Amino acid sequence: MKQIFFTPGPAQLYPSVARHLKIGLEENIFSISHRSQKFKDIYEGTVEGLIKLLKIPDDYKIVFVASATEAMERLIENIVEKKSFHFVNGSFGKRWQEIAVELKRETCVIEIPFGEGFKDVPEIPKDTELICFTHNETSSGVALNTEFIYKIGKANPKALLAVDTVSSAPYIDIDFKRIDAVFFSVQKLFGLPAGLGVMILSPKAIEKATKLQKKGLNIGSYHNLPSLVDWAEKNQTIETPSVLHIYLLGKVLEDMNKKDIKKIREELDERAKLIYDFFDNNTNFKPFVKNKKDRSQTVIVITLGDKTEEIKAKLEEKGLIVGGGYGPFKNTQIRIANFPAVGDKDISVLINEFKKF
Amino acid sequence: MKQIFFTPGPAQLYPSVARHLKIGLEENIFSISHRSQKFKDIYEGTVEGLIKLLKIPDDYKIVFVASATEAMERLIENIVEKKSFHFVNGSFGKRWQEIAVELKRETCVIEIPFGEGFKDVPEIPKDTELICFTHNETSSGVALNTEFIYKIGKANPKALLAVDTVSSAPYIDIDFKRIDAVFFSVQKLFGLPAGLGVMILSPKAIEKATKLQKKGLNIGSYHNLPSLVDWAEKNQTIETPSVLHIYLLGKVLEDMNKKDIKKIREELDERAKLIYDFFDNNTNFKPFVKNKKDRSQTVIVITLGDKTEEIKAKLEEKGLIVGGGYGPFKNTQIRIANFPAVGDKDISVLINEFKKF
| Mean of all residue pLDDT scores within chain A | 97
Closest by Cβ to B243, choosing from A103, A193, A224? A193
> For residue B182, what pLDDT is reported?
98
Summarize pLDDT for B320-344 with one digit per residue, the tens: 999 999 999 999 999 999 999 999 9
- How do residues A157-173 score in pLDDT, each as one tens digit? 999 999 999 999 999 99
Contact B43, B236 (CB under 8 A): yes
Residue type, B24: G
Please tell me whether the peptide bond between A328 and the residue prior to it is cis, using omega within 30 degrees of 0.
Answer: no
pTM of the full structure: 0.98
CB-based contact B14:B189 (threshold 8 Å): no
Which chain A residues touch B221 with a CB distance below 8 Å? 72-73, 76, 98-99, 102-103
Q: What is the mean pLDDT of residues B87-106?
A: 97
- pLDDT-derived band at B154 (thresholds 50, 70, 90) equals very high
Distance from CA of A115 to the nearest CA of B (A): 22
For B131-143, the three-class secondary structure string (H helix, E strand, C coil) is EEEECEECCCCEE
User: Judging by DSSP bridges, how do beta strands A142-143 and A136-137 pair with one another?
Assistant: antiparallel
From chain A, the residues in CB contact with B102 under 8 A are 218, 220-222, 224
Confidence of residue B88 (pLDDT cuts 50, 70, 90): very high
Distance (Å, whole) CA B82 – CA B94: 18
Q: How far apart are CA A122 and CA A126, in angstroms?
A: 12
Residue of A nearest to B241 (CA): A195
Residue A27 CB partners (closer than 8 Å, separation 6+): none
Whether B294 and B142 have beta carbons less than 8 Å apart is answered as yes
State the average pLDDT over residues B21-26: 98
Q: Say yes or no for a CB contact (<8 Å) between B31 and A21.
A: no
Q: What percent of chain B has pLDDT over 70?
A: 100
Give the pLDDT mean for A263-290. Answer: 97
According to the model, what pLDDT value does residue B120 have?
84
C-alpha A197/C-alpha A190 separation (Å) is: 11
Contact between residue B181 and residue B160 where contact means Cβ atoms under 8 Å apart = yes
Banded model confidence at residue B87, pLDDT cuts 50, 70, 90: very high
Encode pLDDT of A101-149 as tens digits.
999 999 999 999 999 999 988 999 999 999 999 999 999 999 999 999 9
pLDDT tens track for A12-39: 999 999 999 999 999 999 999 999 999 9
CB contact under 8 A, B195 and A241: yes
pLDDT band at A88 (very low <50, low <70, confident <90, very high): very high
Strands A181-185 and A160-164: parallel
Q: Is A1 helix (H, G, I), strand (E, B) or coil?
A: coil
CB contact under 8 A, B323 and A33: yes
Helix, strand, or coil here: A199?
A: strand
- Determine the residue among A30, A103, A223, A247 to mutate to test chain B binding: the one whose Cβ has the most chain B Cβ atoms within 10 Å: A30
B30/A7 CB distance under 8 A: no
pLDDT of residue A1: 81
Q: What is the pLDDT of residue A281?
A: 97
Q: Among residues B156, B180, B186, which one has the least CA distance to residue B68?
A: B186
What pairing do the DSSP bridges indicate for beta strands A130-134 and A181-185?
Answer: unpaired
Q: With b meaning 16 or more CB within 10 Å and e meaning fewer, what string describes A258-284? A: eeebeebbebbeebbebbbebbeeeee
Checking ipTM against 0.95, whether it exceeds it is yes
Decide if A66 and B67 are in contact by the 8 Å CB cutoff. yes
CA dist., res. B218 & res. B215, Å (int): 9
Using DSSP, state whether B60 is helix, strand or coil.
coil
Beta carbons of B336 and B323 less than 8 angstroms apart: yes
A-chain residues near B68 (CB < 8 A): 239-240
Strands in B333-337's sheet, in edge-to-edge order, are B4-6, B320-324, B333-337, B299-303, B286-287
Cis peptide before A157 (omega within 30 of 0): no
How much is the average pLDDT of A275-290?
97
Query: Tell me: the pLDDT tens digits for A62-75?
Result: 999 999 999 999 99
- Pick from A314, A305, A303: which is nearest to A336 by CA? A303
Confirm if A95 and A88 have CB atoms less than 8 A apart: no
Is B102 in contact with A218 (Cβ distance < 8 A)?
A: yes
Closest CA to A206 of A185, A230, A222, A184: A230
| Cα torsion angle, B74, B75, B76, B80, sign | positive
Q: Which residue of B has its CA nearest to A65?
A: B66
pLDDT at A287: 98
* Region A267-271 average pLDDT: 98
Strand stretches in chain A, DSSP E: 4-6, 61-65, 83-88, 106-111, 130-134, 136-137, 142-143, 160-164, 181-185, 197-201, 286-287, 299-303, 320-324, 333-337
Chain A residues with CB-CB distance to B99 below 8 A: 221-222
Q: How many CA atoms lie within 13 A of B99 on its CB side?
A: 25
Q: pLDDT tier at B24 (50, 70, 90 boundaries)?
A: very high
Candidates A10, A216, A222; nearest CB to B31: A10
Measured in angstroms, the CA of B154 and the nearest CA of chain A are apart by 30
Of the partner residues B30, B68, B193, the one whose CB lies closest to the CB of residue A243: B193
pLDDT of residue B1: 81
Distances (CA, A) of B156 to B72, B124, B128, B129, B210: 21, 8, 9, 10, 22
DSSP conformation class of B305:
G
Alpha-carbon distance A151 to nearest alpha carbon in chain B (angstroms): 30
Tens of pLDDT, residue by residue over B252-279, are: 999 999 999 999 999 999 999 999 999 9
Name which of A82, A139, A184, A244 to mutate to probe chain B: the one with the most chain B Cβ atoms within 10 A of its Cβ: A244
Note whether A195 contacts B195, CB cutoff 8 Å: yes
SS3 B232: helix
Asked, as a colleague might, if the bond just before A125 is cis with ω within 30 of 0, I would say no
Which pLDDT score is estimated for A342? 97
Give all strands of the β-sheet with A61-65 in edge-to-edge order: A61-65, A197-201, A181-185, A160-164, A130-134, A83-88, A106-111
* Three-state secondary structure readout of B26-40: HCCHHHCCCCCHHHH
Q: Yes or no: say if A195 and A241 are a contact pair by the CB < 8 Å rule.
A: no
